[in-house]
Structure formats: structure tokens, C-alpha cells
Chains A and B, each alone.
Chain A
Amino acid sequence: MSSISSPANRSAQVRGLTLDTTVDLTGIEKIYRGKTHALRGIDLQIHPGEIFGLLGPNGAGKSTLVKILMTVITHTKGQGTMLGKPIGNKATLAKVGYLPEHHRFPNYLKGKQVLDFFGAMSGVPKKERKQRTSKLLDLVGMTESANMKVGRYSKGMKQRIGIAQALMDSPQFIVLDEPTDGVDPVGRKDIREILLQLKAEGRTVFLNSHLLSELELVCDRVAIMVKGMVHQQGTIDELTAGKGFFSITPKSTFDIDVAKGCRDALKGIESQINESKNGCTGMKFYTENVESVQCVIDHLRSNGQIIQSCGLQRPSLEDLFMKAVSSVEGGATPGADKSPKGGAR
């Protein structure tokens, strides 16, 4: 678990906060209509000034968790705080910006009217709204399309306006649910830069995304949710510590029996053989001990194989994610991300 970084601490203090956590959840559960168990006891901490990524397969309960934080739905059990106030406290939301996953801005509004409207809904005075609108339009690269109706926007443009909307109340905590959904690679890069800029300003960002490579690029800490539970959380270094592996790639494919011989030479160490129809294309040995893989190299060389590369690698976020999902049977609670329509508390 990472501690609060000192720049973040400083920015939190500048903002008059003496909080250790922006979000602190303990045992949060959500049961829809007494049947669907969408969240099964979520324990999660988000620290001030960090970019926190939440990942998980469809139906893991990510959006349900976000909606609970945003008071769109209520939790069934557990407790938690957001910016020091119990979750569900409406006044706290004045300091929170939110971009929902499948947001639907009114088509009859122009881009700048969207910002003005949601700014007013957050209680931002008119003069400030005007100033922020032009600044944020500039930030998200939408100044030229500000007078165009939202109905004529592309998905990417809507996402950009959505992000600007989430920043209208100059929030301390920003929750972005799939912000790069439908955005082209250039747009994604722009969004990443915005996120890093927000972090540099000392704001806390909660990112919910399927794009693991992107999360990896910007997140200080991540949590992996599977079947309504947080499977792992921490910095990427923490999560990957001790999970390094040696990847061996031969110059050409070789017989599968040779690969099996390598595996037998390293008994007790988890391994993976990459196969193709012509034979083995490479191997992975889940150990960080360089001495232990020497016998594998010896075995390959004694069998006349030329090794093209061999090195210690850290697992990617995708590796961690896939492992977490596969380690939990089934991987997801069907329908957990979807709240039943009309479900009363």
C-alpha cells in the first residue's frame, strides 16, 4: 500500500484538508431487490492527490461503486467517507466532479451551455461559470465547437465536453467513468495530459476504465475488482512485486518436448509455454531468481537452440488483471453493473 506522496500532502494542506484519504470505504455492499449481490464488501482507500484506477471485467460492480459514491444509488451495508463526510452526503458533491459512463447530455444544448448548466447545478456563480467555461473549453480543445449543439457532436467531442463539465465546480475529487470511451488516440493522449495536470494541481482523480494500458500510464494506484469484491489494490509496483518472470525467446521455434524438458528442469516454479502450430515460440518462468533459470538456458543450448532474448520482466497491468479474473471462478457477477430499473432501496 502506498503512502501519501508529499506533493499531494502539500496540496491537500493548501486546500485546507487534513485528510489521509479522499475516499475510505469499509465493507460496502449493494444488494438489488434483495437478490442481486452487486457489491460484496468493498474495502477501498483513495489518497489525496493521486490518480486511482479501478479496473475489472464487465459486471464486476465498478459502476455500481461509482454510483454509490455519487449518491445515484445507495449502498445496502457498510460505511465510508468521501472528502471526510459520510458517503451519501449531498453537500460533499459540491467538491466532486463526475463524468458518468454512458452520459447523455441534452442534445438541444450547445457545448458551452452544457458547461454553464451543470456549473450552475453545482452552485458555481455566473461570473465564475463564464470564466471557467472558456478556460475548460480551451483545456479540452473544444473552443471552436463551443457553439455547436451537443446533438451534432461526435462521441469523442461529447467525452471532452463531459470532462470539462466534471471540472466546472473546480473539484477536489474527480470521478471519471470510462473517460476515453470513443476517443481517438490523439484525444486519449490529450485526456492523459489533462489527468496529469489535475494531479499536478493536487486534485484526486478516480479513473474507471477498461483500457488497462492507459491506466498503467497515469495511475498511481489501482484496484482490481472481480465479482463485486476488490481483489487487489495498491501501486503497480506493489502489485507486481515478486511477480516478475523470466521470458525466454528462441531464435526459431523448437520442439515442444524440449520445452517440456525445460519445465521439468525447473520443477516447482510456475511456467508458461507459448505454443504455435510449428512448436514452441517462447517460455515464461515465474521467478525473479536469475540463477534458477540458468539450467533452462543450458537445457536449450544443449538441444541446439539459439536464444534470441532472455530477461526479467515485470507483469503488466493486463497480466495482473487477467490473473485476478481467472483466479476468481466465473470472473463476474452477471448483471452486477446494471442496477435493476426502479429498484427501491
Chain B
Amino acid sequence: MIRVFKAMMIDTLRYLRSRFLFWLVLALSTLAAILLFATYSFTPEGIQILGFKPIENPMLAKGTPGRDMFVAGLFNGFYVKFWLGWGAMILALVSTASLIPDFISDGAIELTQSKPIRRSTLFFFKFLSGLGFVVAQLTIGIGLAYLIIGIRFDLWLHTSLLAIPLLTLQFVYLYAISATIAVITRSTIASLLGTILIWFIIFLLQFVANNIHKTHETFLTQANQVQTRVVTLTERIETGGEDPTASQTRKMESLLREKGGIIESADSLYPWLKNFKRAELAIPKTGDLQKYLAKKVDAPVTNEFMGLFFNISDDAVRPSTISKEEMEDANAAEIAAIKAVRNLSITESILSSLAVVGLLLWFSMWRFSRRDF
């Protein structure tokens, strides 16, 4: 069996190597890693892009936590999320979409079916060998970024290497869908378009679920923030030793009303949140893997990343109707909410996703084993 598996792995790698897309993705990953991590450096004053005059920014100066946040933000937010998580992933799907349809096409399937290997084993090995593309691309792409970041900035983001297994897992989720459609239709186009469509549906579902979760968490944080203001006001009144003034009473009533309203909103969202979380159990959760990675590499959320370049509560940026304190609270609530959303149970997410993937693969193997070619 090992001999057969090895032969199929080598064959698939030869197949992928013969494809232009394999080299294109590799070249683009290298280019992206160079552009994102090798075209600038940090100086004591700030950041210097290529050989141009350094841009003064104490937040990004060499040796500051802002610099690490900036690099981690680029790695997670751009390199992993946009390029490897979306761009390269789509190209990987395009590259591998024809693997199973070609494998089961007339003239090819007879050659492998007539070998002393069980059909289910044959299919499973073919599926596994198809992952070779992504493992190879991710190992090179992530490894390159890891080395550039480490060597140039002396910042060794060991946790960034987690992107290799996590993005491979994301591809496993998608490739299981692709393989299932391929076995049913024997068509590369149907397999590719079907997978992208289902991926989009998964993305939409997770996007909505995330936003509901984020909003719910924002409400909870805001309720806590209002509660803090209530406590502060109560302490101020108690410290004065006198009855609260009319203005203080009005303020207290307003805060309590605000808190009540926020809790009511949070409560009204909760059933939606629960239902979406339930619905998520039935899908391979591609987005969760990136959220988990963002948490592990301590990637800044958008507000934090933007905060490296300008102060969000500055008068110039802040709308005049919102106080500085409210602006800072809102910003803090949003950051806390996004981090809370990232704080998911990865074991539960992976296991439930793998259960769906397992079902898909079981069905594909059953279908592959039973059909006449």
C-alpha cells in the first residue's frame, strides 16, 4: 500500500509540476513575500521604504511593539488572509480541480482500476495526493515569509508556521467538496465552479455569523463600559456625601437606560447567534482557521493596525457629535469584540468541520466504488 501511495504522490506532483499554474502560484507567493516583508526596514525614527527617505512614526520605530504589530498585521491580514487564504487557494483549486475528473476519465480509469487496489483506497490516495500541491506551495510560501521576517527584522514568528497546517486544512475542506462534485459529475468545470460557489456560501454564512457574534460581543463590552461609568458616578456621589444633584440623577438615569437598551439589544441578538452557530456545525468552517491563526500570531485587528498610523480619537478624525471618551470606548469595544470572536474553540471547530469532510469523502468513496466506468 505504501508503494502505491508513494507512486500516486509522485505522479500527482509530476502532474502539478507540469502545470503552469503551479509555477505561477509559487512565483506570486515569492513576490508577495518579498513585497510585504523585504521592501522596507525599520529605523529609530520610523519606517523606510526601499531607499527612500524614512517616514517618521514613533509607533513603528525599531524595537517598539508597534513594529511587531505592523509585521504581524501584514503577515496575517495581507499575506495569509488575502493572498494565501483567498488568491493562492483559488489558484490551488483551479490547479487541482482536474485531478479527479482526469483520473476517472475514459481511458485513464481503466488503467488504474485494473490494478490490485481497492477502489476506495485508490480514491482516498488520489485525494491525499491532491493535497500535495497546497502543502508544497504553503511550505515554500510561509517558510519564505518566516525566513525573510526573521532574518530582516530579527523577529522569529514561530507561530506563523502554524499557517501551513491550518491553511492545508482549509484546503482539505474545499478539496473534499471539489472531489465529491468531481466524482458525481466527472467534470472539471462543474467541480471548480461548484466548489467556489459552496465556498462563497460558507463564507457568507460565516460572515453573517461573525458579524452577529461581533455585534453581540460589542454590546456586551459596551454594557460593561456603561456599567463602569455608572459605578464611577455612584462613587462620585457617595464621596460627595450629599444627595445627587438633578444633573447627576439625570445622568444616572440616562446611563441605566442606555445599559438596559444595550443589554436588550444583546439579548435580542442571542437567539440569532445561537442559530447561526448551530448552522455552522453543518459546514466546513474555513474562516475559523484564519481566525485561530490571527489569534496565535497575535495579529492586530484593523482598528489596532490603523492606530499605528493615526490616533482614532483625534479631533481631526473623530466626528464632532461623539466625545473623545465615547470614541475611545467604541474603539475599545470593537477591538475587544473582534478578539472575542477570534477566541473560538478550535478543537470543536476542526472536529465538526472534519466530520462534514469525512461524510463528503465517505460518500465520494462509496460512489466511486460502486459506479461503472
The interface of chain A, by Cβ under 8 A from chain B, is 32, 67, 70-74, 90-94, 96, 98, 100, 102-109, 113, 116-118, 120-123, 125-126, 165, 339-345
Within 8 Å by CB of A91, from B15, B109, B116, lies: B116
- Given A102-B107, A106-B15, A344-B370: A71 and B7 interface contact (C-beta under 8 Å): no
B107 near A94 with CB under 8 A, answer no
B3 near A125 with CB under 8 A, answer yes
A181 to B367, CA, bound (A): 32
B114 near A72 with CB under 8 A, answer yes
Within 8 Å by CB of A72, from B109, B184, B186, lies: B109
Q: Is B314 in the interface zone, CB < 8 Å from A?
A: no
Within 8 Å by CB of A345, from B114, B116, B372, lies: B372
- Interchain residue pairs A-B with the least CB separation, the first 4: A104-B107, A120-B7, A108-B18, A100-B110
Please, which residue of chain B has its CB at the minimum distance from the CB of A338?
B106
Please, which residue of chain A has its CB at the minimum distance from the CB of B6?
A120
Contacts of A107 in B (CB 8 A): 18
Chain A, interface SS category: loop
Please, which residue of chain B has its CB at the minimum distance from the CB of A68?
B372
Contacts of B3 in A (CB 8 A): 120, 123, 125-126
A345 near B371 with CB under 8 A, answer yes
Contact with A along B106-147 (1 / 0, CB 8 A): 111111111111100000000000000000000000000000
A340 to B371, CA, bound (A): 10
A32 near B372 with CB under 8 A, answer yes
A166 to chain B, nearest CB (A): 9
Contacts of A345 in B (CB 8 A): 370-372
Chain B, interface SS category: helix
B4 near A121 with CB under 8 A, answer yes
Q: Is B105 in the interface zone, CB < 8 Å from A?
A: yes
A107 to B15, CA, bound (A): 9
A93 to B4, CA, bound (A): 14
A123 near B107 with CB under 8 A, answer no
- Given A72-B110, A103-B110, A344-B372: A92 and B116 interface contact (C-beta under 8 Å): yes
Contact residues on B (Cβ < 8 Å of other chain), bracket: 20 to 34
B116 near A122 with CB under 8 A, answer yes
Give the total number of A-B pairs whose CB atoms are below 8 A apart.
Answer: 99
Please, which residue of chain B has its CB at the minimum distance from the CB of A340?
B372
Contacts of B111 in A (CB 8 A): 98, 100, 103-105, 118, 165
Sample 27 A-B pairs with CB under 8 A, ordered by A number: A32-B372, A70-B110, A72-B113, A72-B114, A74-B372, A90-B116, A91-B116, A93-B114, A93-B116, A98-B110, A100-B111, A100-B114, A102-B106, A103-B107, A103-B110, A104-B108, A106-B15, A108-B14, A108-B15, A108-B17, A116-B7, A117-B11, A121-B7, A123-B116, A344-B371, A344-B372, A345-B372
A343 near B108 with CB under 8 A, answer no
Contacts of B109 in A (CB 8 A): 72
- Given A343-B371, A344-B372: A71 and B114 interface contact (C-beta under 8 Å): yes
**Other CB < 8 Å A-B pairs besides A72-B372, A103-B111, 20 of them?**
A70-B114, A72-B113, A72-B114, A72-B373, A90-B118, A91-B116, A100-B107, A102-B106, A103-B107, A104-B106, A104-B107, A105-B111, A106-B14, A106-B108, A108-B14, A116-B7, A123-B116, A342-B186, A343-B372, A344-B367
Within 8 A of A (CB), among B1-58: 3-4, 6-8, 10-11, 14-15, 17-18
A247 to chain B, nearest CB (A): 43
B185 to chain A, nearest CB (A): 8
B324 to chain A, nearest CB (A): 64
A123 to B245, CA, bound (A): 91
Please, which residue of chain A has its CB at the minimum distance from the CB of B4?
A121
Please, which residue of chain A has its CB at the minimum distance from the CB of B107?
A104
B4 near A120 with CB under 8 A, answer yes
B14 near A113 with CB under 8 A, answer yes
- Given A118-B115, A120-B6: A67 and B110 interface contact (C-beta under 8 Å): yes
